[in-house]
Amino acid sequence: MTEPVRVVAAGDHFVLPSLITRAVEHEVERAQVTELKLGWPLEPFGPVAEVQEASDAEDELIGALAGAEVLVTQMGPVTERVLAACPDLRLVVVCRGGPVNVNLDAAKSRDVRVCFAPGRNAAATAEFTVGLMLAALRRIPQAHDLLAGQRSWAGASYYTYEHSGLELEDLPVGLIGYGAVGSRVARVLCAFGAQVMVYDPYVRGEIHGLRVTSLDDLLRRSRVVTLHARLTSETRGLLGARELALLPRGAVVVNAARGPLLDEDALCDALEGGRLSAAALDTYAREPLPQESRLHALADRVVLTPHLGGASRAVAEKAARIAAEEVGRWLRGEPLAHCLT
């Protein structure tokens, strides 16, 4: 009789170990699953040894992986040290859009396959982005805080012409990036009747909205700009002081992609100086957002959320399912759908 495959389900408080276990057992006929619960998001992720955006849990992961052939995780730190300590490991599946918590070179040198789960949070992040946009344009959080927190009707001042917000219908909105999230945001905004413009030099074919070939041109024409680019050496600091100065006075900036795409000090300068009327952010250059961040003093002009764009139950379930499907393909000797090594 074939021995069961030994799997470690290193989940967390979002992609629960039990979700991974159920998905693997549904996909794999014989699996011996060991569960490990890491601390994220109640404990922030960060660099661990040579990998990025991982839970600081090398020792716990090494202990759980003793004798295991497969690891399914979201935030487990698959470092050189972990790989060296786990010689039986043959497959790592990361329940995220990219395996930033895995040392790919070290995995490849040990013939460990590494897979990931693209697209699992695209719908959730797109919906959250539009929610941020509406909240910033219509001053929803500020009005809520006045009424619910201070029991004050002063939020009625947002009904004056001077302080009232903008509506999406006919509003020029510029999207930077047109991947899985950006393309969904574009479709939703088109349904609202916004004038959607897109800048993405890497995307070909038809798009929802007007394609703009220059970032500067997009910025000059956009009353709202929203970021959907991947974070690379090329896109880090994509919107700085020069770029923000190109936006029309009173424009709004939205970022639910990656914090370092946007120069936060330049953003604060633009908000304080009145160049921008509002911003809505879900991601930051440093996470958690430091207590000394200038953004805290701009509460009347900013919407701040703690990296919640992908936080829906459907995302956790999709991630576990996509990962388990890769485990099934690997065991059956089929080509892996989302593999980097």
Measured distance CA(157)–CA(154) in Å, rounded: 6
Q: Which of 220, 287, 294, 317 does the annotation list as catalytic?
A: 287
Find where tokens 């509003």 sit: 171
Half-sphere exposure of 146 (CA within 13 A, CB side): 14
Q: Which of 258, 301, 321, 338 does the annotation list as catalytic?
A: 258
Q: Please, where are the H alpha helices in the chain? A: 17-27, 58-64, 80-85, 104-109, 122-138, 140-144, 180-192, 215-221, 241-244, 264-272, 313-332
Coil, helix or strand at residue 94? strand
Active site annotation includes 287: yes
Active site annotation includes 162: no
**H or E element that contains 31:** strand 31-37
Active site annotation includes 258: yes
Measured distance CA(154)–CA(158) in Å, rounded: 8
Is 35 in contact with 60 (CB distance < 8 Å)?
Answer: no
User: What is the distance, to the nearest Å, from the Cα of residue 85 to the centroid of all Cα atoms in its chain?
Assistant: 30
Q: Which amino acid is located at 74 in the chain?
A: Q
Residue 211 pairs with which residues in a beta bridge? 198
Q: Which of 307, 321, 329, 338 does the annotation list as catalytic?
A: 307
The residues carrying an active-site annotation are 258, 287, 307
